[in-house]
Amino acid sequence: MPVRIDPHADILIAVDVQIDFCPGGALAVPRGDEVVPVINRLAERFDHVVLTQDWHPPGHSSFASSHPGRAPYETIELSYGRQTLWPDHCVQGAPGADFHPELAATKAELVLRKGFHKAIDSYSAFFENDRNTATGLAGYLRERGFTRIFLAGLAFDYCVLWSAEDAWRLGFQTVVIDDACRALDIHGSEAEARRRLAQASIEVLAATELEPA
Protein backbone atom coordinates (compact mmCIF):
# COMPACT_ATOMS: atom_id res chain seq x y z
CA MET A 1 0.00 0.00 0.00
CA PRO A 2 1.47 3.37 -0.95
CA VAL A 3 2.35 5.75 1.86
CA ARG A 4 2.12 9.50 1.51
CA ILE A 5 5.01 11.43 3.10
CA ASP A 6 3.77 13.97 5.63
CA PRO A 7 6.22 16.90 5.62
CA HIS A 8 5.53 17.75 9.27
CA ALA A 9 5.14 14.40 11.01
CA ASP A 10 7.64 12.29 9.09
CA ILE A 11 11.40 12.06 9.39
CA LEU A 12 13.95 9.95 7.54
CA ILE A 13 16.69 8.41 9.68
CA ALA A 14 19.68 7.12 7.70
CA VAL A 15 21.59 4.71 9.92
CA ASP A 16 25.39 4.35 9.83
CA VAL A 17 26.07 4.96 6.12
CA GLN A 18 29.79 5.02 6.85
CA ILE A 19 32.91 3.97 4.98
CA ASP A 20 33.64 1.07 7.33
CA PHE A 21 30.24 -0.49 6.58
CA CYS A 22 30.70 -0.28 2.81
CA PRO A 23 32.71 -2.67 0.59
CA GLY A 24 36.40 -2.27 1.37
CA GLY A 25 35.62 -1.08 4.91
CA ALA A 26 36.56 -2.72 8.21
CA LEU A 27 33.08 -4.20 8.80
CA ALA A 28 31.76 -4.23 5.26
CA VAL A 29 28.10 -4.93 4.65
CA PRO A 30 27.78 -6.75 1.31
CA ARG A 31 26.64 -4.18 -1.30
CA GLY A 32 26.32 -1.63 1.50
CA ASP A 33 27.28 1.19 -0.85
CA GLU A 34 24.16 0.51 -2.94
CA VAL A 35 22.01 2.24 -0.31
CA VAL A 36 23.65 5.60 -1.02
CA PRO A 37 21.80 6.62 -4.21
CA VAL A 38 18.52 5.26 -2.81
CA ILE A 39 18.91 7.27 0.41
CA ASN A 40 19.98 10.38 -1.51
CA ARG A 41 16.78 10.26 -3.56
CA LEU A 42 14.71 9.65 -0.42
CA ALA A 43 16.35 12.57 1.39
CA GLU A 44 15.10 14.91 -1.33
CA ARG A 45 11.54 13.80 -0.66
CA PHE A 46 11.52 14.26 3.12
CA ASP A 47 11.54 17.67 4.75
CA HIS A 48 13.49 16.28 7.72
CA VAL A 49 16.51 13.98 7.81
CA VAL A 50 18.63 12.64 10.67
CA LEU A 51 21.86 10.69 10.25
CA THR A 52 23.35 8.31 12.78
CA GLN A 53 27.09 7.68 13.01
CA ASP A 54 28.66 4.69 14.74
CA TRP A 55 31.43 6.36 16.78
CA HIS A 56 33.61 4.10 18.92
CA PRO A 57 36.62 5.06 21.03
CA PRO A 58 39.80 3.02 20.42
CA GLY A 59 39.70 -0.20 22.45
CA HIS A 60 35.89 -0.31 22.46
CA SER A 61 34.40 -3.32 24.25
CA SER A 62 32.64 -4.48 21.05
CA PHE A 63 35.98 -4.95 19.30
CA ALA A 64 37.33 -8.51 19.29
CA SER A 65 40.78 -6.95 19.58
CA SER A 66 39.85 -5.75 23.09
CA HIS A 67 39.37 -9.36 24.26
CA PRO A 68 42.57 -11.43 24.05
CA GLY A 69 41.98 -14.79 22.41
CA ARG A 70 38.65 -13.74 20.91
CA ALA A 71 37.88 -13.42 17.23
CA PRO A 72 35.41 -11.22 15.33
CA TYR A 73 31.85 -12.58 15.09
CA GLU A 74 32.18 -14.63 18.28
CA THR A 75 29.86 -13.67 21.11
CA ILE A 76 30.82 -12.98 24.72
CA GLU A 77 29.06 -12.05 27.95
CA LEU A 78 29.55 -8.43 28.95
CA SER A 79 28.08 -6.84 32.08
CA TYR A 80 24.80 -6.17 30.24
CA GLY A 81 24.51 -9.52 28.46
CA ARG A 82 25.49 -11.14 25.18
CA GLN A 83 27.55 -9.09 22.76
CA THR A 84 28.80 -10.00 19.30
CA LEU A 85 32.44 -9.10 18.78
CA TRP A 86 33.35 -7.09 15.69
CA PRO A 87 36.49 -6.12 13.85
CA ASP A 88 37.70 -2.65 14.93
CA HIS A 89 35.43 -0.25 13.03
CA CYS A 90 34.17 3.35 13.05
CA VAL A 91 36.89 4.53 15.39
CA GLN A 92 36.32 8.16 16.38
CA GLY A 93 38.11 10.45 13.94
CA ALA A 94 39.40 7.65 11.70
CA PRO A 95 38.62 7.80 7.96
CA GLY A 96 36.44 4.67 8.20
CA ALA A 97 34.08 6.46 10.56
CA ASP A 98 33.29 9.13 7.96
CA PHE A 99 30.05 9.00 6.04
CA HIS A 100 30.22 7.50 2.56
CA PRO A 101 31.60 10.36 0.45
CA GLU A 102 28.58 10.33 -1.87
CA LEU A 103 25.99 10.38 0.91
CA ALA A 104 23.97 13.60 0.67
CA ALA A 105 24.61 14.60 4.28
CA THR A 106 24.12 18.35 3.91
CA LYS A 107 20.38 18.27 4.56
CA ALA A 108 20.68 16.36 7.84
CA GLU A 109 19.33 18.39 10.75
CA LEU A 110 21.02 16.17 13.34
CA VAL A 111 23.95 13.79 13.31
CA LEU A 112 23.41 11.39 16.20
CA ARG A 113 26.60 9.66 17.30
CA LYS A 114 26.36 6.39 19.19
CA GLY A 115 28.62 3.71 20.60
CA PHE A 116 30.93 6.21 22.29
CA HIS A 117 30.74 4.64 25.76
CA LYS A 118 33.73 2.32 25.88
CA ALA A 119 31.96 -0.40 27.88
CA ILE A 120 28.62 -0.42 26.03
CA ASP A 121 27.87 -1.04 22.36
CA SER A 122 24.94 0.75 20.74
CA TYR A 123 23.17 -0.79 17.78
CA SER A 124 19.95 1.17 18.25
CA ALA A 125 19.79 4.90 17.67
CA PHE A 126 17.58 5.15 20.81
CA PHE A 127 19.13 2.93 23.50
CA GLU A 128 22.57 1.45 23.96
CA ASN A 129 22.96 -2.32 24.14
CA ASP A 130 22.46 -2.36 27.91
CA ARG A 131 18.89 -1.46 26.80
CA ASN A 132 18.85 1.24 29.45
CA THR A 133 21.18 4.08 28.48
CA ALA A 134 19.24 6.51 26.27
CA THR A 135 20.89 8.36 23.38
CA GLY A 136 18.44 11.26 23.65
CA LEU A 137 17.00 10.75 20.18
CA ALA A 138 13.47 9.96 21.38
CA GLY A 139 13.30 13.23 23.30
CA TYR A 140 14.65 15.14 20.30
CA LEU A 141 12.09 13.65 17.93
CA ARG A 142 9.19 14.11 20.34
CA GLU A 143 10.10 17.66 21.17
CA ARG A 144 10.15 18.47 17.47
CA GLY A 145 6.77 16.82 16.95
CA PHE A 146 7.73 13.92 14.70
CA THR A 147 5.43 10.93 14.99
CA ARG A 148 6.51 8.69 12.13
CA ILE A 149 10.01 7.45 11.49
CA PHE A 150 11.30 6.01 8.22
CA LEU A 151 14.48 3.99 8.62
CA ALA A 152 17.17 3.31 6.03
CA GLY A 153 20.85 2.38 6.07
CA LEU A 154 23.26 -0.19 7.49
CA ALA A 155 23.08 -2.81 8.66
CA PHE A 156 19.48 -3.94 8.14
CA ASP A 157 19.82 -6.81 10.63
CA TYR A 158 21.66 -4.89 13.38
CA CYS A 159 21.44 -1.14 13.74
CA VAL A 160 18.40 -0.64 11.51
CA LEU A 161 16.50 -3.53 13.14
CA TRP A 162 17.30 -2.47 16.71
CA SER A 163 16.43 1.16 15.93
CA ALA A 164 13.12 0.12 14.34
CA GLU A 165 12.15 -2.07 17.30
CA ASP A 166 12.97 0.68 19.78
CA ALA A 167 11.12 3.32 17.74
CA TRP A 168 8.06 1.08 17.67
CA ARG A 169 8.29 0.36 21.42
CA LEU A 170 8.60 4.08 22.11
CA GLY A 171 5.32 4.65 20.31
CA PHE A 172 6.52 6.11 17.02
CA GLN A 173 4.93 4.86 13.83
CA THR A 174 7.80 3.00 12.25
CA VAL A 175 8.57 2.13 8.63
CA VAL A 176 11.69 0.38 7.30
CA ILE A 177 12.55 1.14 3.68
CA ASP A 178 13.82 -2.22 2.52
CA ASP A 179 15.72 -1.29 -0.63
CA ALA A 180 17.44 1.55 1.25
CA CYS A 181 19.06 -1.03 3.58
CA ARG A 182 21.54 -3.89 3.23
CA ALA A 183 22.14 -6.71 5.73
CA LEU A 184 25.30 -8.20 7.21
CA ASP A 185 23.49 -11.56 7.36
CA ILE A 186 25.59 -13.36 9.97
CA HIS A 187 24.24 -16.82 10.89
CA GLY A 188 20.81 -16.11 9.40
CA SER A 189 20.48 -12.69 10.99
CA GLU A 190 18.68 -11.18 7.99
CA ALA A 191 15.83 -13.73 8.09
CA GLU A 192 15.66 -13.31 11.88
CA ALA A 193 15.42 -9.53 11.43
CA ARG A 194 12.52 -9.94 9.00
CA ARG A 195 10.76 -12.23 11.49
CA ARG A 196 11.20 -9.70 14.28
CA LEU A 197 9.92 -6.80 12.17
CA ALA A 198 6.89 -8.85 11.14
CA GLN A 199 6.28 -9.84 14.76
CA ALA A 200 6.09 -6.18 15.75
CA SER A 201 3.98 -5.38 12.68
CA ILE A 202 6.61 -2.83 11.67
CA GLU A 203 5.97 -1.87 8.06
CA VAL A 204 8.68 -2.80 5.58
CA LEU A 205 8.23 -0.90 2.30
CA ALA A 206 10.07 -0.27 -0.95
CA ALA A 207 11.13 3.29 -1.69
CA THR A 208 8.77 3.27 -4.70
CA GLU A 209 5.81 2.79 -2.34
CA LEU A 210 6.36 6.27 -0.88
CA GLU A 211 4.39 9.04 -2.51
CA PRO A 212 5.33 12.69 -2.25
CA ALA A 213 3.14 14.86 -0.05
List interacting residues with ligand VGL (CB under 6 A): 16, 21, 54, 86, 123, 154-155, 158-159
* Nearest-approach distance from CB 156 to ligand VGL, in angstroms: 8
Catalytic residue status for 16 = yes
User: DSSP characters for 50-87?
Assistant: EEEEE-BPTT-TTBGGGSTT--TT-EEEETTEEEE-B-
The span of 46-54, 72-80, 134-142, 165-173 binding Zn ion (CB under 5 A) equals 46-54
Inter-residue contact 38 to 180 (CB < 8 Å): yes
- In the residue annotation, 178 being an active-site residue is answered as no
The dihedral built from the CA positions of residue 159, 52, 16 and 59, taken in this order, carries a sign that is negative
Q: Which lies closer to ligand VGL via its Cβ, residue 74 or residue 171?
A: 74
- 150 contacts which partner out of Zn ion, ligand VGL, none, CB within 5 to 8 A by kind? none
Contact with Zn ion (CB under 5 A): which of 33, 54, 157, 165? 54
Q: Which of the residues 16, 20, 88, 178 is marked catalytic?
A: 16
Q: Amino acid letter at 40?
A: N
CA distances 158 to 42, 101, 213, Å, are 21, 22, 30
Q: Is 107 a catalytic residue?
A: no
Residues of this chain that interact with Zn ion (CB under 5 A) are: 54, 115
